[in-house]
Structure 1
Amino acid sequence: MGVLKDHPELALFLCLALGYLVGKLRVGPITLGGICGTLIVSLLLGAWAEVQVSGDVKNVFFALFIFSLGYLAGPQFFANLNRKSLRFFVLCFIELVSVLGIAYGLAKVFDLDVGTASGILAGAATESAVVGTATEAIGKLGDLTPDQITQYQGHVATAYTVCYLFGLITIVLYTSQIMPMLMRINLADASRELWEKMRGGSGKGSLEADERAALPGLVGRTYLVTQADGRTIGDLESALGGRVTVEAVKRGSKVHPTAPDFRLSLSDLVLMVGRRANIIEAGRLVGPETPGIPGLDTPLTSRQIALTDKATDGLTIDRLQAQHPEFIKDGVYITDVLRGDQQLPANGDTVVHRGDVLTLVGARSGLSKVVAKIGAVVKNDATDFIYLGLGIVVGSLIGQLVVRLGDIPLSLGTGGGCLISGLLFGWFRSRSQTFGAFPPQAATTLKDMGLALFIACTGLVSGPQAWPLLKEYGALLPFAGIAMVLVPATLSLFVGRKLLKIEKPLLVGAIAGQQCSTPAITAITQTARSSVPMLGYTITYTLSNFLLPLTGPVLVGVLGA
């Protein structure tokens, strides 16, 4: 115990390791998750060893977490600010009003202190970020003594832990098991039907992370010239609608350049590249297909580019290629479309928007011409610490602003400020992706580690206050955790079906998203045997991830006044 008190860094990382180990324990479809496990371990270790951790350490890790969260969510958050997503805003509004109203009502009826009420809000809403924003807001209440601030901040962590456990179990079971029964659907069948409808009846599903297409769209094949004897390369490519390009011609032992006026001869070997359907058609015009020929292979370059040209926004891929003849002339093909973290099919009717990331494949010279016309090569190989540091500085400054509503001082604090700056910096980066690189893997690691270590700091400091609070409000906390899930979820279920007419699989996912519950959407997709509910989840999850952390300072400001 003495070693832990003298070296709090040991205690921090011990909480991290043991907490994630506890978080892996599974009971049916329920797992606690690493964050809840870390808080449980840190509360127990803090009560036993009384480890002291500097508040500055906690603030630094929370700033890193909340900025990374906003940065990752920024592009999708602003993309969802449109009329089509407006109905999902209603669900998030129901969540915000419900949890704030219930937390405030419980505080008044049961005379709860501001820390316990904030912890109930954070735990029942299963939103860990509220712990940080509420804890920080309590520290800024001017009429509290340092001992009261420490005590109330400890109550936040304890109430959060208990309410989180019951809130998590409730939201997982309610969304994945009970809601489909209430709507009288088989979630797997409904998800499959909706997916086929969205895909135009093709029934084609998306690939998992460890899967590759057995029939890739872009292929290269070699043909022996029989039917195309005497035709020029330009004439042959025109006959194929410009959708196939001749990359190399071998005559005897010599490989010839592929100029448009080069005339093919009987028994030439031709390497052609294009989409599978067009390449099959090419075989009928050129001659029989042959195995790969040594020396007849031209390497193709692959680049990820971000669309930056305003004129490309809203075009289909077919129209984009038609407006830029370099695609057809130089044999450049779009093989993938990435919007945020969502993979879209590279079909001709897929609509692209400014900021989308396209994967282009083609000869190096032709590829460079296309890139110069429509976008810029994505730079995402190393974190831009200038951009990252500036973003956190801006967020911290935003958090210092105080707005008074009557006698109530409201401040976002470092957490709320860094969340807003993260959203803005992430969105601004997505517009061109030529600066401010923060690779998704790095951002996710920093987000998860920042939150876990912040929670560990909070738990270690709060451990001594945990047992007295549990003795005083032991029965209330589980009730609050269940009620604050059931009330907004049930209201959203009714409003979503009766008024907003949201498709049932999307609605179930959206309700999990408004609660920011990753375990819930995991259970839902397992029940649905489909990722379709994720389409509703991502919209409300992004919005609630931004809005719910702001409820912490609001509740603290209202109760503190």
Structure 2
Amino acid sequence: MGVIKDHPEFALFISLALGYLLGKLRIGPLTLGGICGTLIVSLLLGAWTKAEVANDVKTVFFALFIFALGYMAGPQFFANLNRKSLRYFALCAIEVVCVLGIALGLAKAFDLDVGTASGILAGAATESAVVGTATEAIGKLDGLTPDQITQYQGHVATAYTVCYLFGLVTIVLYTSQIMPRLLRTDLRAASRELWDRMRGSSAALEQDERPALPGLVGRTYLVTTADGRRIGDLEQALAGRVTVEQIKRGSKVLTPSPELELTLSDLVLVVGRRANVIEAGREIGVETPGVPGLDSPLTTAQVALTDKKSEGQSLDQLIATHPEFVKDGVYVTEVVRGDQVLPANGDTVVHRGDVLTLTGARSGLSRLTEKIGALVKNDATDFIYLGLGIAAGSLIGQLVVHFGDVPMSLGTGGGCLVSGLLFGWFRSRKQTFGAFPPQAATTLKDMGLAVFIACTGLVSGPQAWPLLKEYGALLPFAGIAMVLIPATLSLIVGRKLLKIETPLLIGAIAGQQCSTPAITAVTQTAQSSVPLLGYTITYALSNFLLPLTGPVLVGILGA
């Protein structure tokens, strides 16, 4: 025990290791997750060893976490501030109003201190970021002694842990199992039907399925009927729906050009959609097996959408607006928004800053990239941009605004969240500067939160047991109630008033709760990624709004 107390770095990292190990344990369809596991281990270790970690460590790592969170959500957050997303914004508003109102009501009814009330809010909303923003806000309250501040900050962590456990179980079971039954809906069938309708096809695929006949193909033909025809004329006759990529004449491989004439026995490589390539064969000649030396591998590139005219278009509209997609045989195979992968179907709406994975012949792909966006440059983190962003967030967090007798301040956490949103959005406009690779951003976000939670648990351990003895029965009740009430209201409003399709609505309710385990369970139940389309909108909005409820609650109760 002396080793742990004298070496806080050991206590910190052993909490991370054991916490993430605990978080992997599965009970039925549920796992605690690394963050909750880390908090449990660190609370126990802190109560046992009285290990202390400097507050500055918590502040620095929380700033890294919250900036990375805002940076990743920024493009999607601002893209969703439009009329089309108003109905989803209403669900987030229900979540924020309900959790704040319930937390305030419980605080008044049971005479809860500001730390316990904030922990209930953070845990029941399953939003770890609230722990940081509320803890920081408590540290700035006037009239509290250092011992009181430490005690209340400890109560945040303890109440969060208990409420999170019950809130997590409730939101996962409610969205994935109970909601479909309440709506008398087969979530799997509804998702498949909606997917078919969005794609305009009845050939929806399961998660583990791949098309037996891929749409994008290459074929080689022996020139017979096309003897003497120019390549430009041939492509024009086929309405520009295929591209001639290579020609082999004897032992020479020729580069195609519109003026080049085909001669008898030339071997021609054609790329395009399957039906169009088959049609091309009737114009050129008989199909041949693969020819050594005659191959043009398809190129894949990640392109950030920056074209202003493409904002808010569906993929079908984007392709219709840019005929180069069809003419040059370029296809969208994936859409990534922040850290969410969306289905690349025709009805998927794209926004500036989305990253499209394009697949096709190199020449056509390069020409198209110049028109719609820029190649994503994410090979190394731009620490100049990162440093300036976090510094700006720290300055924003120092601003204090008084509403009557209530002082309101975002603090470092809220300030870095705002700057992260702005810096992430600004980066998405061009993506030629300020690189922050998604893997690096995710790692920094996860590690920042994990270290902050571990530090909080170690310091808060001694206050945990007295709080549990005093409010042991209240905390589980609060965790369940603060999930069921806003989720049920959102279900009724979303279904009856907003007319949101069931798979999208259930995904959106998981998103308003910022619950990754919930959307994972929902997609597994649906055996489809369709619910993700609703989840991504509310997730981005709630990721910004819920952390701000921490300072608001602390400011009201502290006054």
TM-score tier, shorter chain, comes to over 0.9
Q: Give the structure 2 partner of residue 223 of structure 1.
A: 221
Partner residue of 2:183? 183
Per the alignment, residue 264 of structure 1 pairs with 262
Task: State which drifts further: 190-199 or 276-285.
Answer: 190-199
Distance between the aligned counterparts of 2:279 and 2:399, measured in 1? Answer: 65
Equivalences for residues 58-207 of structure 1 within 5 A: 58-205=58-205
Q: Deviation of residue 134 (structure 1)? A: 0.3
1:337·1:356 contact (CA, 8 Å) conserved in 2?
Answer: no
List per-residue Cα deviations over 1:353-373 (Å, max 9, x = no partner).
543434455665665444444
For 1:323-402, list aligned pairs within 5 A.
Answer: 331=328, 333-336=330-333, 338-340=335-337, 341-345=340-344, 353-360=351-358, 367-402=365-400
Following superposition, the deviation at residue 26 of structure 1 comes to: 1.7
State the SS of the aligned residue for 1:178.
Answer: helix
**In structure 2, do the counterparts of structure 1 residues 441 and 279 end up closer, same or farther at CA, with 3 Å as the change threshold?**
same
1:525 aligned residue (523, 526, 540): 523
Match of residue 250 from structure 1:
248
| SS in structure 1 at match of 2:202 | coil
Partner of 2:18: 18
Q: Aligned in 2, Cα 1:206/1:62: closer, same or farther, shift over 3 Å?
A: farther
Describe the SS at the equivalent of 1:431: helix
Q: Deviations over 1:118-152 (max 9, x none)?
A: 11111111111110000000000121011110010
Aligned-partner Cα distance in 1 for 2:51–2:236:
75
CA distance in structure 2 between the partners assigned to 1:33 and 1:67 by the alignment: 21
What's the offset of the Cα at 1:529?
A: 2.2
1:510 aligns with 2:508: yes
TM-score w.r.t. the length of structure 1 is 0.93
Aligned length: 557
Of 493-502 and 312-321, the range deviating more from structure 2: 312-321
Aligned to 1:405: 403
Deviation at 1:172, TM superposition (A): 1.8
CA contact (8 A) 1:336 1:343 kept: no
How far apart are 1:497 and its partner, in Å?
A: 1.7
In the TM superposition, residue 304 of structure 1 has moved relative to its aligned partner by 2.8
Instruction: Choose the corresponding residue for 2:239, options 216, 219, 241.
Output: 241
Root mean square deviation of aligned Cα: 2.3
C-alpha distance after superposition, 1:198-229 (max 9, x if no partner): 22243423756xx7655443322211111111
Correspondence for 2:417 among 416, 419, 425: 419
Shift of residue 335, structure 1, vs aligned partner:
3.9
Deviations 1:488-530 (A, max 9, x none): 1122222222222222222222222211122222222222222
Q: Secondary structure at the match of 1:273?
A: strand
Report the AA paired with residue 160 of structure 1.
Y
Distance verdict in 2 for CA 1:159–1:313, change over 3 Å: closer
> Do the aligned partners of residues 536 and 58 (structure 1) sit closer, same or farther apart at CA in structure 2, a change above 3 Å counting?
same
Q: Deviations over 1:290-318 (max 9, x none)?
A: 11222223455543333333344466778
**TM-score normalised to the size of structure 2?**
0.94
Percentage of identical aligned residues: 79
Aligned partner of 1:110: which letter?
F
2:38 maps to what in 1? Answer: 38
| Aligned-partner Cα distance in 1 for 2:540–2:269 | 47
Superposed CA offset, 1:205-256 (max 9, x none): 3756xx7655443322211111111212111111111122222222222333
Pick closer, same or farther for the CA change 1:481–1:310 going to 2, 3 Å: closer
Contact 2:343-2:529 at 8 Å conserved across structures: no
* Larger deviation, residues 48-57 vs 172-181: 172-181
Q: Distance in 1 between matches of 2:348 and 2:488?
A: 36
**What is the CA–CA distance in structure 1 between the aligned matches of 2:310 and 2:500, rounded to whole Å?**
31
Instruction: Give the corresponding residue for 1:534.
Output: 532
Residue 467 (structure 2) aligns with: 469
1:108 and 1:19 mapped to 2: Cα distance?
34
Task: Tell me which amino acid in the other structure corresponds to 2:262.
Answer: L
Answer whether contact 2:273 2:329 (CA < 8 A) is retained: no
Give distance in 2, aligned partners of 1:395 and 1:180. Answer: 41
3-state secondary structure, aligned to 1:434: coil
Paired residue for 2:3? 3
CA distance in 1 between counterparts of 2:385 and 2:210 reads 35
Residues 312-368 of structure 1 deviation map (CA, whole Å, 9 limit, x = unaligned):
446677876777677778x46244352514345376x87655434344556656654
Partner of 2:53: 53
- What displacement does 1:260 show? 2.0
Structure 2 unaligned regions, length at least 5? none
Would you say the 8 A contact 1:217–1:335 is kept in 2? Answer: no
Equivalent pair of 1:166/1:482 in contact (CA under 8 Å): yes
Match of 2:485 in 1: 487
The 1:298/1:421 distance shift into structure 2, 3 A limit, reads: same
User: Does 1:553 pair with 2:557?
Assistant: no
Q: 8 Å contact 2:199–2:345 — kept in the other structure? A: no
Preserved CA contact (<8 Å) 1:308 1:355: yes
What one-letter code is carried by the residue in structure 1 that aligns with 2:25?
L
| Secondary structure, aligned partner of 1:472 | helix
The CA deviation string for residues 51-78 of structure 1, in whole angstroms up to 9 with x for no partner, is 0100000111111111111111111111
Please say if residues 332 and 356 of structure 2, whose CA atoms lie closer than 8 Å, have aligned partners that are also in contact: yes
Q: Distance in 1 between matches of 2:326 and 2:499?
A: 43
Query: Which one-letter code corresponds to 1:186 in the other structure?
Result: D
Unaligned runs of 5+ in 1: none
Partner secondary structure for residue 502 of structure 1: coil
Name whichever of 176-185 and 131-140 sits farther off. Answer: 176-185
Give distance in 2, aligned partners of 1:454 and 1:309: 39
CA distance in 2, matches of 1:352, 1:502: 19
Indicate the SS of the match to 2:430: coil
Deviation at 1:274, TM superposition (A): 2.0
Q: Compared with structure 1, are the counterparts of its residues 309 and 197 closer, same or farther at alpha carbon in structure 2 (3 Å cutoff)?
A: closer
Residue 496 of structure 1 is matched in structure 2 by 494
Paired amino acid for 1:396: S
**Are the equivalent residues in 2 in contact too, given 1:218–1:335 (CA < 8 A)?**
no
Distance across 2 between alignment mates of 1:264 and 1:433:
42
Cα deviation digits, residues 185-206 of structure 1 (max 9, x gap)? 2222222222222222434237
Partner Cα separation in structure 1 for residue 206 and residue 66 of structure 2: 31
Q: Distance in 1 between matches of 2:478 and 2:325?
A: 59
Match of 1:288, SS state, is strand
